Amino acid sequence: MLSEKVKDLLNAQVNAEFYSAYLYLDFSNYYKDEGLDGYSNWYYIQAQEERDHAMLFIQYLQQNGEKVTLEAIDKPDKKFSSFKDPLEAGAEHERHVTALIHNIYAAAYEEKDFRTMQFLDWFVKEQAEEEDNADDNVKKYELFGSDMRSLYELDSELATRVYAAPSLTLD
């Protein structure tokens, strides 16, 4: 059985992951409207990943006999004045999500909730990858984004990303 604190944090993370999906769909829509289909694709797939992360948290709560509490998901409110803005916002958001995961991990550690810590290990590793990818997108844009040919190449590169569901199973 999960402690009340850990259960509440896990439920809050469900909402945070669904918000991340909304945020990245918003980024995807922005890039689509701007004619950058590759960037749109990258964030569309990112939104799918975040939705899957939320579903993993739901599944974990259910498998531990806990009630899942779904809250309202805030509407993304970011306004962009350049192609780089969503990339920077995405990197910042991934650092925020990492802090949330670490906070849950710390609470589980305090409670000696080793099962939850083991469950979260995958998310800790995943967040390192998410931050690296977000930072790489910013760096590449800073290096090449001001040149239209290079921006086209970056956009084409991001268009090749395909969706792969997470390999983590809780069965």
What's the CA gap between 163 and 71, in Å, rounded?
Answer: 27
Domain at 11, CATH number: 1.20.1260.10
| Residue 91: both structure tokens together | 């990197």
Average pLDDT value for the chain: 95
* pLDDT tens digits, one per residue of 73-120: 999 998 999 999 999 999 999 999 999 999 999 999 999 999 999 999
| Residue 167: both structure tokens together | 């390999």
What's the CA gap between 107 and 91, in Å, rounded?
Answer: 25
Taking residues 41-46, report their average pLDDT: 97
With a cut of 70, say whether residue 168 has pLDDT above it.
no
**What is the number of other CB atoms lying within 10 angstroms of the CB of residue 63?**
12
Measure the N-to-C terminal CA separation of the chain; round to a whole number of Å: 17
Quick check: is 74 in a domain?
no
Residue 167's identity, in one-letter code, is S
Q: Which residues are CB-neighbours of 59 under 8 A, at least 6 positions away? A: 170
With a cut of 90, say whether residue 159 has pLDDT above it.
yes
What's the CA gap between 170 and 2, in Å, rounded?
Answer: 16
What's the CA gap between 127 and 133, in Å, rounded?
Answer: 10
**81: DSSP letter:** S
Q: Which domain holds residue 154?
A: 4-68+80-159
How many domains, the chain?
A: 1
pLDDT: which is higher, 48 or 145: 48
What's the CA gap between 71 and 14, in Å, rounded?
Answer: 9
Quick check: is 170 in a domain?
no
The three-class DSSP label of residue 10 is helix
Residue 163's pLDDT is: 87
Tokens 């998901």 correspond to what residue?
73
